[in-house]
Structure 1
């Protein structure tokens, strides 16, 4: 159930808290969609096609509703603000409250319409179309120490980040199915291995050449989950973000 959204300092409400000044999303005015991309290769001289992997496309968001301000000047300022969302072609974070949890996505602007409704300059209708390069929403973050099965409560495989504690010398991390990550040139300080970017980072800086074997994995949206262990005396944590499509 949609309860609200926020982007660029604009708060869209499903139910207004102040009936003299609000940006309200109409019933059914919030939608998001992502299609599935599948290559169709027909079987030669046979019925059907070959079963190839399918991939989710980028997702789109549509936010439609009514805005109210106390004065025409306030409405003009709101219109300028809304029309300026991601106005330079850049990216912003869309935060969404769905009642059962809060999620976010990286988005850019596809289009925006903002028009005074009728003859009252303090009431307007709007339609904002946003585009996200990723097909999923990200939610709460949870940490799982070494040896503890990691999972999340979404519905799509999550990409974890490994937090490695301070220590000396190289190490090997063993994940599900015998997958390993070998670090021969490891920083003495605590650092992280980012599966999304594919590398080892110290204070946000990629450590080139630190990893010699890199076999990453995903974290499922259900138990029994996946465990990871580390050789030596360093600590290890799988940091998992709730992921849903």
Structure 2
């Protein structure tokens, strides 16, 4: 049976299954915030002189992941090495990636360190107790990315709407990408021998990696829902490739 593993910044944390525990290294006993959906949030605006509140959108807050467990070392030098690894994780505040292998599925999210890492040696033994926390400003978790050609049904296997990315090649003229429910994304000039990448989270168009301004005449945005029926994309000119990443909350 495959164990649970968490990797951050080159450090691997093993699940507490004794059969999968390493000879030395980090083993977590508590792992909170990853398998739970972040809290829902939204404005509460009462209806004047009426029952209830106005119906306003609800969004998800950031994800806080906390871990704690024990560490085993084969020597005092190795113990010092593990302490440095833990306290140095994302220490300068940079964004890093947490990758979790669990239930036979690999998921990831981008995080920053949160609070203070703790590493406490157990007396003169070769064991230590540790704890650490990470905060992901994006409530979503991500998995495998798949590619779909124009006319194919774009789907993903998460449980939350996924934001697709489009790549367009093979046209010097303008083009229109057709999405669900009559939505369209129209670009007035093509990439020629290069590639346009369209981020449907923002509507930005990058041509050969350079942000292009003023070339979108209609910029509808859309997502790909989890599972079927999916979304079939077509394009008026050029070749379209759509990427959809398994997205979870």
TM-score of Structure 1 vs Structure 2, range by shorter chain: over 0.9
Deviations 1:130-156 (A, max 9, x none): 000000101000111111221111110
Name the CA distance, whole Å, in 2 between partners of 1:190 and 1:205: 10
Q: Which runs of 5+ in 2 are unaligned?
A: none
Write out aligned runs for 1:216-231 (5 A).
216-231=221-236
Cα root mean square deviation, aligned: 1.7
Name the CA distance, whole Å, in 2 between partners of 1:46 and 1:119: 68
| Normalised TM-score (structure 1) | 0.93
CA offset at residue 201 of structure 1?
1.2
Q: Which of 133, 138, 152 lines up with 1:148 in the alignment?
A: 152
Deviations 1:157-186 (A, max 9, x none): 000000112222111111111111111122
Write out aligned runs for 1:8-87 (5 A).
8-14=9-15, 15=17, 17=20, 19-26=22-29, 29-32=30-33, 33=36, 34-87=38-91
SS at match of 2:201: coil
SS at match of 2:166: strand
SS at match of 1:224: coil
Name the CA distance, whole Å, in 2 between partners of 1:172 and 1:144: 17
Q: Which runs of 5+ in 1 are unaligned?
A: none
SS at match of 1:185: strand
Name the CA distance, whole Å, in 2 between partners of 1:165 and 1:187: 6
Residue 213 of structure 2 corresponds to residue 208 of structure 1:
yes
Do the aligned partners of 1:186 and 1:210 also contact (CA within 8 Å) in 2? Answer: no
Name the CA distance, whole Å, in 1 between partners of 2:217 and 2:25: 55
2:161 matched to which residue of 1?
157
SS at match of 1:170: strand
SS at match of 2:228: coil
Residue 132 of structure 2 corresponds to residue 131 of structure 1:
no
Residue 199 to residue 137, structure 1, CA distance change in 2 (3 Å): same
| Normalised TM-score (structure 2) | 0.91
